[in-house]
Amino acid sequence: MPESNIHNRSLVAWAKNTPEAVVLSGDLTGSTEISGFRDAYPDRFFSMGMAEQNMLSFAGGLAREGYVPLVHTFAVFMYRRALDQLSMSICYPNLKVRLFGFLPGITTPGGVTHQAIDDIGVLSAIPNLTILEVGDATDVETMLDPIHAIDGPVYIRMMRGPIRRLFPAEESLQIGKARVLSTGDDIAVISSGVCTEDAIAAVALLKRQGLSVEHVHVSTLKPFDDPQISRTLEKQRYGVITMENHSVIGGLGSCVANRIAEEKLSVRLAKIGLHDTYAHGASHPYLKQKYALDGAALIAVAERLTGQDFGLADSDLPEITATQQNLRSADQLEAL
């Protein structure tokens, strides 16, 4: 069963012994799961309204004075609307500001204005910034301590609402360390964020067809220096498939492509993601089918790489899951 309100709860617990942590909200307190913090620590919660340029620079000022601002809003309003402030007021001075960017990729029916489809690509070029993306309940629940240890700005591509737990609760997210979910040497699947859940199901199907599949979940997009990635890449017979809830330009797929070129690895790469297009407003299940970002898409690409036809039907894949919420649910309505 998916779990709800994870960030809301873990942030309150974590902040208890972190008095320097302050939370800034861009008029999205319920939608970014910081109402618990607001109620528990009203003196450390600051409503900044719909004024994101000011919010990001203001966070820089607080960080200069030794506070650790945790800025919460939808990702698009940070990296798109206030990119100059993000870069000049936070990243250039290398300040301990934590940017929690919600609604990654096509996970929201809020449409093109709310869908962060190129945030990793845009932010990857900014020096000093660490970029993370969470993929399950354990990632969300365990990220705050490792993030706090980073002496510089961090952007977190966030999940919210009901989230399935894919990884053991005691196995904390570690910066710069991918999770190896299965090992194999026919093809590798490197996935991030919400894609990992779909990939797990698709990989299980492929393995039942006799394919040897290595599956790796990546949570640190920058710096992208985990040696595990090279170990995974160098042993694959047919190739590697990256799967990301993001444009295939500038995100996980591009990071893996760079690694292949830089280390002269001889492996074919196929990227699953948004292929240089904006999306539009609809449910996550609908959008991921429309834009070939689901388990069926992963199987199709695996067939192409291996030259095999597994004869699998959509019905072999699991039904709608936790992160594919009903468009009409209460959670979703509040979100917008």
Partner 1 sequence: MSKNWIPSVESAAHNIRKRVLGLTIKQNGCYLSQALSSAEIIATLYLQTLDLAPSTGDFIPGKFSGVPGSADGHPAGHGGKYNGRGSGAMDRLIISPAHYAVVIYAGLVEAGRLSQDAFETFNTDGSTMEMIGAEHSPGFEMTTGSFGQALSQAGGVALARRLRKESGRVVVFMSDGEFEEGQTWEALQCLAHYKLDNIKVIADVNGQQVDGLTKDVMNIEPLESKLRSFGASVSVIDGHDPQAIDQAVRHTETGKPQFVLCYTDTSRGIPLLTPRKPHLHYVRFRDAAEMQEFSDFHAAM
Q: Which residues lie near partner 1 (CB under 8 A)?
A: 46, 48-49, 51, 53-67, 69, 84-85, 88-89, 92-95, 127-128, 152
Q: Which DSSP letter does residue 163 get?
A: B
SS3 labels along 194-262: CHHHHHHHHHHHHHHCCCCEEEEEECEEECCCCHHHHHHHCCCCCEEEEEEEEECCCCHHHHHHHHHHH
> Which residue lies nearer to partner 1 by CB, 99 or 298?
99
Judged by CB, which is closer to partner 1: 111, or 223?
Answer: 223
In this structure, the strands spanning 269-274 and 239-247 are: parallel
Closest by Cα among 230, 251, 135 to 188: 230
Least Cβ distance, residue 44 to partner 1 (angstroms) = 9
Q: Which residues pair with 189 in a beta bridge?
A: 215, 241
Q: How far is the CB of 298 from partner 1 (least distance, A)?
A: 37
102: β partners: 74
* 187 touches 306 (CB < 8 A): yes
Contact 269, 257 (CB under 8 A): yes
CB of 254: closest distance to partner 1 in angstroms? 23
Which one, 54 or 230, has the nearer CB to partner 1? 54
CB of 92 to partner 1, least distance (A): 5
Count CA atoms within 13 Å of residue 30 on its CB side: 7
Q: Which is nearer to partner 1, 60 or 273 (CB)?
A: 60
Rounded CA gap, 69 and 49, in Å? 15
Cβ closer to partner 1: 65 or 309?
65
Q: How far is the CB of 63 from partner 1 (least distance, A)?
A: 7
CB nearer to partner 1: give 128 or 329. Answer: 128
Q: How far is the CB of 220 from partner 1 (least distance, A)?
A: 17
